[in-house]
Amino acid sequence: MSGFLDALAGAPGISVDDLLGGRALVVLSPHPDDETLGCGALLHDASSQGVSCHVVCVTDGSRSHPNSIQWPASRLAQQRRAELEAAMQILAPAARLHWLGHADCAVPEDADTVASIAALIPQGALVLASWALDPHCDHLSVARLAQAVGAIRPDIALRFYPIWGRFTDHAAPARLLRSSDAARRAKAAALACHRSQMSPLIEDDPQGFVMEDWRQRHFLEHPEIVLAQP
């Protein structure tokens, strides 16, 4: 456990209906797989209820195995996009998927990028972005981009979801999402689609990223977390 997770012991629950309040849902994902890890069950239940769902994937995820010869950045980016598309077919087949394709670990935070993301968000939507206290540069960049979008789009509601920040001692006001059994099953199936990150698919880079089994179980077993503060 971590200080962050320990502090969630008394966090209140929230239903999908109460969280959305009749709004469209937009998930800003730093990499292909963050949408499933952080918001997969939410996407499934919202989509199943007929909510307009959108996923904006900001980077191409191509630096997870930088020393691989068999999987150069261009091939890995194609693989990760295919994994994302497969996962979304399970979670929310009717969702709009927007692939921005920025370089992994080099997300631009200029006004043009803010405007391009803002243009993808429906009026009055609930926007969920990665948390600024996640210890990863792209997660921080996406959190800052979301805040910048919120500054020019006062119609949206902005919330955050933690990925790596769950395993730190940071704390923030949180709600635990109440998800359906079907959503939890769909999330497990969707996470398995991200084979390059969740399995030893890429064999020629021992230092490349593969999420540990215990962390995968955590994301599948623990309720999804919604934070009000960046």
- Per the listing, tokens 């503060």 go with 229
- CATH assignment at residue 185: 3.40.50.10320
How many distinct structural domains can be found in the chain?
Answer: 1
SS3 state at 141: helix
Distance in angstroms (rounded) separating the CA atoms of residues 147 and 129: 9
DSSP state of 164: G
Task: Print burial letters for 35-73: b (CB count within 10 Å at least 16), e (below 16).
Answer: bbbbbbbbbbbbbbeebebbbbbbbbbbbbbbebeebeb
What's the pLDDT tens digit per position in 169-227? 998 899 999 999 999 999 999 999 999 999 999 999 999 999 999 999 999 999 999 99
Q: 176: buried, middle or exposed (CB in 10 Å: 19+, 13-18, 0-12)?
A: middle
Domain around 219:
3-227
Task: Note the pTM of the prediction, 2 decimals.
Answer: 0.97
Distance in angstroms (rounded) separating the CA atoms of residues 98 and 94: 13
Per-residue confidence of the chain (230 residues) as pLDDT tens digits? 689 999 998 899 999 999 999 999 999 999 999 999 999 999 999 999 999 999 999 999 999 999 999 999 999 999 999 999 999 999 999 999 999 999 999 999 999 999 999 999 999 999 999 999 999 999 999 999 999 999 999 999 999 999 999 999 998 899 999 999 999 999 999 999 999 999 999 999 999 999 999 999 999 999 999 998 65
